């Protein structure tokens, strides 16, 4: 059968663009790609990239305060113009979108800026009514923020909306205690917004190492964020020109903006999956095997739409592996077991790779090497903020299983720590490494004695 394309990709985000570009430019495939919104997808347009620039923007007052601690008597960040920042941000995102488009153009990929859905295992129906056939189809449609099912939920914003705000709210409430809630709480707080965060648990960032969760929870409070723990939202309603948020304990508060950061869901609705026999998991994500292949042999899926590890570099690697395997004859699988990640809060970030201490204890005997200290830079300027670094080592093999860092630039540090850990380095390899002095990261190679030893596997439910 003659197909219009060797590959048709649904979704122009990180995973879809990488797969399309590699299949076309490196493996000579004829590729079409449909994107219903903007090229670049969540990471570039309404996620990692604009978020990180907002983190930088929001850091200025703390930097000015630190400068005063170093003798710059009149250092002051001064007033912040959201409008100026936002105009520049918009221009930069336009530039990135153009770069994504031109990268695909150069690779010879046909871009269809419209919605696409499947009509059978080899056919795509575009919103303009035209149909395209392809030998292989890749679904890389991503995920969407979800609102909780409470009355008035439509009055709340989602993370997508934050990047489109025309002005900053005076008083904002974030609901949730995950990546987005913690990051946006620090951003808004840094930009001078009176910020509250309501989370239903006792310590934010469920799923992370407990010690780092406790440090992050304390940091949010020390930043002056009004942290309300153990609270679930019950309803939102209008109260004059504000939004009243009521909680399950009967309390309420009025805010200019309420932002839901209550997780994301795979964007699988109305893609025609049912017609083709693609199977979904209970959470709506597309079920795939280790090769990102669905139950229909010609259809593959990568990225958040498969809800494996929902991070940009993972989607990119999945997309690249798919293209190499199917079009390059180079079988490559994505290994999801060791994926480093970071939460970009201020002043300290959280960087993490491998199991939490609680998970590792349950898996087998471990030694934990941990250190806390006040880094010289902020300590000199008068801050009491503590850094925490932790290595989790398998007691039997001495392999370093995990590293958790709570500190300035932890995202940068964990990226480098991830290399030896991915290579299977032992604690002796870390010890053999000469320190770079004076740095924070040198602590990683100078922790000599275990802080704790757990030599009997245990599941400490209370610790989780
Ligand atoms: P997360 O899954 O990280 O967190 C969701 C939070 O919302 C949790 O604290 C959860 O509570 C809470 N929650 C869920 N449902 C409800 C509800 N009905 N009522 C009250 N609270 C609720 O999602 P995010 O939205 O923060 O981020 C989505 C994903 O985006 C992340 O998982 C990550 O994959 C990605 N991301 C990555 C970033 C990075 O790499 N730096 C930055 C931002 C996003 P509980 O813990 O009790 O379940």
Angle at 226 between CA 220 and CA 231, to 5 degrees: 100
Please determine whether the domains at 5-144+265-327 and 153-262 fall in the same fold group of CATH: yes
What CATH number was assigned to the domain covering residues 341-452? 3.30.390.30
The H or E element spanning position 64 is: helix 60-69
Measured CA to CA, the distance from residue 49 to residue 345 in angstroms comes to 15
Contact 140, 319 (CB under 8 A): yes
Which fold is adopted by the domain 5-144+265-327? FAD/NAD(P)-binding domain (3.50.50)
Best of 149, 178, 204, 309 for a ligand 1 pocket test (most atoms within 8 Å of beta carbon): 178
- Ligand 1 centroid to Cα of residue 261, in Å, is 6
CATH architecture observed for domain 153-262: 3-Layer(bba) Sandwich (3.50)
Distance 159 CA to ligand 1 centre (A): 11
Question: In 197-232, which positions are buried (b, 16+ CB within 10 angstroms) versus exposed (e)?
Answer: bbbbeebbbeebbbbbbbbbbebbeebebbbbeebe
Please list the active-site residues.
Answer: 437
CA of 79 to the centre of ligand 1 (A): 31
Listed residue (164, 204, 155, 178) closest to 261, CA to CA: 178
Q: Which of 200, 318, 346, 352 is the pocket-test mutation for ligand 1 (most atoms within 8 Å of CB)?
A: 200
Tell me what pLDDT residue 1 has: 80
Annotated domain spans of the chain: 5-144+265-327, 153-262, 341-452
Residue nearest to atom 2 of ligand 1 (CA): 263
Query: Which atom number of ligand 1 is nearest to the Cα of residue 145?
Result: 25
CB 125 within 8 A of CB 272: yes
Measured by CA distance, the residue closest to atom 42 of ligand 1 is 179
End-to-end CA distance of the chain: 55
Taking only the tens of pLDDT, the chain with its 464 residues reads 899 999 999 999 999 999 999 999 999 999 999 999 999 999 999 999 999 999 999 999 999 999 999 999 999 999 999 999 999 999 999 999 999 999 999 999 999 999 999 999 999 999 999 999 999 999 999 999 999 999 999 999 999 999 999 999 999 999 999 999 999 999 999 999 999 999 999 999 999 999 999 999 999 999 999 999 999 999 999 999 999 999 999 999 999 999 999 999 999 999 999 889 999 999 999 999 999 999 999 999 999 999 999 999 999 999 999 999 999 999 999 999 999 999 999 999 999 999 999 999 999 999 999 999 999 999 999 999 999 999 999 999 999 999 999 999 999 999 999 999 999 999 999 999 999 999 999 999 999 999 999 997 665 544 44
């Amino acid at each position: 059968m003659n197909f219009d394309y060797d590959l048709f990709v649904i979704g122009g985000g990180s995973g879809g663009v990488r797969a399309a570009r590699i299949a076309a430019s490196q493996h000579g495939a004829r590729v079409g790609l449909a994107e219903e919104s903007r090229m670049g997808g969540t990471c570039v347009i309404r996620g990692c990239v604009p978020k990180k620039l907002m983190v930088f923007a929001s850091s200025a007052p703390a930097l000015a305060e630190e400068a005063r601690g170093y003798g710059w008597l009149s250092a002051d960040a001064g007033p912040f113009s959201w409008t100026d920042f936002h105009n520049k941000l918009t221009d930069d995102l336009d530039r990135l979108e153009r770069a994504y488009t031109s990268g695909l153009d150069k690779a010879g990929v046909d871009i269809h800026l419209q919605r696409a859905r499947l009509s059978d295992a080899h056919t795509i129906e575009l919103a303009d009514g035209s149909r395209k056939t392809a030998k292989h189809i890749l679904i890389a449609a991503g995920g969407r923020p979800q609102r909780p099912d409470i009355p008035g939920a439509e009055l709340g914003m989602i993370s997508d909306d934050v990047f489109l705000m025309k002005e900053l709210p005076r008083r904002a409430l974030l609901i949730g205690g995950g990546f987005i809630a913690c990051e946006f709480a620090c951003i808004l707080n840094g930009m001078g917004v009176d910020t509250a965060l309501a989370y239903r648990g006792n310590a934010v960032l469920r799923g992370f190492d407990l010690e780092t969760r406790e440090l992050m929870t304390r940091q949010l409070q020390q930043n002056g964020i009004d942290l309300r723990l153990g609270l679930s939202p019950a309803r939102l309603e209008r109260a004059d020109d504000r939004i009243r948020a009521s909680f399950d304990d009967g309390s309420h508060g009025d805010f200019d903006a309420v932002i839901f950061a209550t997780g994301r869901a795979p964007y699988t609705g109305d893609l025609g999956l049912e017609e083709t026999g693609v199977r979904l998991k209970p959470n709506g994500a597309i079920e795939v095997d280790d090769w990102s292949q669905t139950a229909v042999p010609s259809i593959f899926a990568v990225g958040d739409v498969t809800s494996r590890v929902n991070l940009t570099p993972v989607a990119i690697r999945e997309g690249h592996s798919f293209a190499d395997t199917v079009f390059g004859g180079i079988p490559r699988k994505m290994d999801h077991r060791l994926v480093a990640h970071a939460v970009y809060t201020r002043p300290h970030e959280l960087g993490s790779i491998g199991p939490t201490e609680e998970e590792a204890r349950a898996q087998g005997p471990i030694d934990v090497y941990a250190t806390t200290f006040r880094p010289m830079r902020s300590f000199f300027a008068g801050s009491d903020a503590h850094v925490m670094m932790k290595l989790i080592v398998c007691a039997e093999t001495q392999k370093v299983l995990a590293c958790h860092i709570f500190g300035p630039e932890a995202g940068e540090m964990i990226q480098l720590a991830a290399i030896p850990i991915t290579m299977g380095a032992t604690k002796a390899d870390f010890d053999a490494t000469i320190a770079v002095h004076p740095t924070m990261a040198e602590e990683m190679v100078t922790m000599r004695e275990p802080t704790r030893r757990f030599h009997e596997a245990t599941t400490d439910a209370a610790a989780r």
